């Protein structure tokens, strides 16, 4: 919708510029720094409008190119971050979990046996 309004505004501006140029058909003197020429005002108005349109259009194309380049760079950065996040969260295998759990159980069992032996050494009557 925004593009349609911009197109309509551009057409209205072109129509007004054309009407203004057609009304002013007298010949005027233009100083070109090195020479002075007489040019019909209609050509001067249309020429300046055309040069202005080319300048504004060139700037718009440059901005669009710069935004597309930045967009592409950011998409590559997002893909890179997603890949590094996916590789950082590797799934833990159940084999590793079982071996870790059995090691912890053996360690707990050893601590329990050590504490029982310590209590038995300290208590000679045989009661716990």
- Return the closest-CA partner of residue 17 out of 56, 55, 49, 51: 49
Name which of 16-20, 54-58, 66-70, 108-112 the model is least confident about: 108-112
Does residue 103 lie in a domain region? no
Domain count, the chain: 1
d(CA 75, CA 79): 6
Question: For the chain, what is the mean pLDDT?
Answer: 81
Beta strand pairing call for 27-31 and 36-40: antiparallel
**Structure-model confidence comparison of residues 97 and 57, the more confident one:** 57
Residue 57 has pLDDT above 80, yes or no: yes
Report the b/e string of 29-44 with b at 16+ CB within 10 A.
eeeeeeeeeeeebbee
Does residue 15 lie in a domain region? yes
pLDDT of residue 71: 96
What is the extent of the structural domain holding 36?
A: 9-44+57-83
Does residue 126 lie in a domain region? no
Report the pLDDT averaged over residues 86-96. 66
């Amino acid at each position: 919708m925004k593009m349609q309004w911009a197109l309509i505004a551009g057409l209205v501006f072109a129509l007004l510029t054309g009407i203004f140029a057609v009304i002013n058909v007298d010949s005027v003197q233009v100083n070109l720094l090195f020479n002075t020429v007489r040019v019909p005002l209609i050509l001067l108005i249309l020429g300046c409008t055309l040069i202005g349109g080319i300048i504004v259009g060139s700037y718009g194309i440059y901005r669009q190119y710069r935004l597309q380049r930045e967009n592409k760079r950011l998409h590559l950065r997002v893909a890179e971050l997603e890949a590094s996040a996916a590789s950082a969260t590797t799934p833990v295998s159940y084999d590793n979990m079982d071996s870790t759990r059995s090691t912890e159980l053996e360690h707990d069992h050893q601590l329990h046996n050590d504490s029982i032996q310590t209590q038995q050494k300290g208590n000679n009557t045989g009661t716990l």
